[in-house]
Amino acid sequence: MYDEVKDTPVIILNGFNSDEINKIMKTIKNVDDLPRIIFATTTKTNVNWKIGDLINELRKEDLEVKKALKKALENKK
C-alpha cells in the first residue's frame, strides 16, 4: 500500500472551520515550487479509514476532478 501512495502529496486537515481551511489552502498554494497538493478534511465517513485507503480515495477523486476540468475547458473552445 505504501508504494501506491508515497508519491501523492496530500494534506489532511482536521479541527479547522471553513475560513481557516481556506486560509491554510491559499497560503500553501502560494508557496513556490511545491507540487500539486490534494487537500482534504476529515469527515464522519473517512475519519476511521486507514490512511492509505483515504489517500487512494483522494487520488481517485482528484483524477475525476481533473477529467471534469479538462472536459469543461474543451467544451469552452
* Three-class HEC string of the chain: CHHHHCCCCEEEECCCCHHHHHHHHHHHHCCCCCCCCEEEECCCCCCCCCHHHHHHHHHHHHHHHHHHHHHHHHHHC
Please report the pLDDT score of residue 38 as a whole number: 96
Please report the pLDDT score of residue 1 as a whole number: 84
Please report the pLDDT score of residue 76 as a whole number: 84
Please report the pLDDT score of residue 77 as a whole number: 76
Please report the pLDDT score of residue 69 as a whole number: 93
What residues of the chain score a pLDDT lower than 50?
A: none
Please report the pLDDT score of residue 49 as a whole number: 96
| Average pLDDT, rounded, for the chain | 94
| Measured distance CA(4)–CA(32) in Å, rounded | 26
